[in-house]
Structure 1
């Protein structure tokens, strides 16, 4: 992270680009797929082009249109196994530490969440993004649980680990992120991603240019006064 988060928006910026990279990779691994979960005898499995049973999975919570709220798994009265809700409790504890109510309150109104626009699907996505960067577990899955309720998981399997970054793929990812993600602070988001991905980011003395590079890839990113990306220039070797 660029620095200690002051808000949920900061955490979402920290998470955004690395999360997108993991979700792109997940889609490439699975192809066309379906899924099933058993929360009482914990099993999470993907079926379809490739059958894959997650080695571990974590229930984060659910967003429901009826009450118009998200409920964290640690607060759910259904009494799920503790090993399934432990990561949601870790998010709660960090929410208390950072003073971010959306992460520490048992139930959060969907309308109070950035980018959610009253949509349970988006609400689940927003809080799942935050949980990723706080727990270091980066692959997620959200699915329909009936009646418009969206349930969110963090999932683990060796196949979901990212391959080493390639220059061309990294440039495509950065361009896609800037075009599609609702980033509030480009400067924070780029720095956080580069740090977590091992690109050794360094700002110039004014904080207006970010230089990053590793494994044959180098880039400079220039920012305007509002921390928005003004230009990005990368060095991509042939075959990268």
Structure 2
């Protein structure tokens, strides 16, 4: 699915940033209030959050929040409903169907955490909300959320962080089209990107990177030149 490649690297950097902001933590949510908090060294209350859905081992399926019979408030499920509309318009059954069997998804069959992560990545690319949280809802069920807070926004691109995202993301994430994933990241991170010469040249504040791929689309070479301002 192209949506997954589009989201992959930008999403990965957001999750790295979220881990750094939260550190060791616990989470709690009240879907009726609605209220979503992280607690640990301090309490951080999300300014907004969106329940996407839940993946349960019993039925071995993912259930989108808009279709959940529990009757959650519309502001909690609106993002999932918008994804349903998008899926119907573009012929993407995984987004348009109320319930998605694990067997209909690529990857490890019967893994709630994997199903939740996969569909959350697609949701990010469509919704434009890039920070997610996948939590244990009990009984092996995983609940997936998109969470918002000013501290979750990415800081300006920094050379070492960008290079880490490229190296770890391109080699470690389950990408179908690594070139597409790289291009999508550069555009969303507002980096310069030039594909002339059979490789990608990325430019940003204080650095320039060259990314080359082999004939199978795998990362072949990643080189960076960094400079200090003024």
Per the normalisation by structure 1, the TM-score is 0.91
Which residue, 123, 148, 156 being the options, matches 1:156?
148
1:52, 1:178 → 2: CA distance? 31
Conserved? CA contact 1:61–1:71, under 8 Å: yes
Which residue, 172, 193, 201 being the options, matches 2:193?
201
Conserved? CA contact 1:65–1:120, under 8 Å: yes
Per the normalisation by structure 2, the TM-score is 0.95
2:168, 2:43 → 1: CA distance? 29
- In the other structure, the counterpart of 2:211 is 221
Instruction: Indicate the larger mover: 226-235 or 10-19.
Output: 226-235
- In the other structure, the counterpart of 2:126 is 134
2:107, 2:179 → 1: CA distance? 19
Residue correspondence of structure 1 range 179-190 to structure 2 within 5 A: 179-190=171-182
Instruction: Indicate the larger mover: 69-78 or 218-227.
Output: 218-227
Which whole-Å deviations, capped at 9, do the CAs of 1:191-236 have from their partners, x for residues lacking one?
111110001222227xx31122121221121223332222121112
Conserved? CA contact 1:31–1:50, under 8 Å: no
- Alpha-carbon RMSD across the aligned residues, in angstroms, is 1.4
Aligned pairs, how many?
229
- In the other structure, the counterpart of 1:123 is 115
Q: What secondary structure sits across from 1:234 in the alignment?
A: strand
2:209, 2:225 → 1: CA distance? 6
Gaps of 5+ in 2: none
Conserved? CA contact 1:212–1:219, under 8 Å: yes
1:52, 1:126 → 2: CA distance? 26
Aligned-pair CA distance for 1:169: 1.3
Q: What secondary structure sits across from 1:145 in the alignment?
A: strand
Conserved? CA contact 2:157–2:204, under 8 Å: no
The answer to whether the aligner puts 1:233 opposite 2:223 as a matched pair is: yes
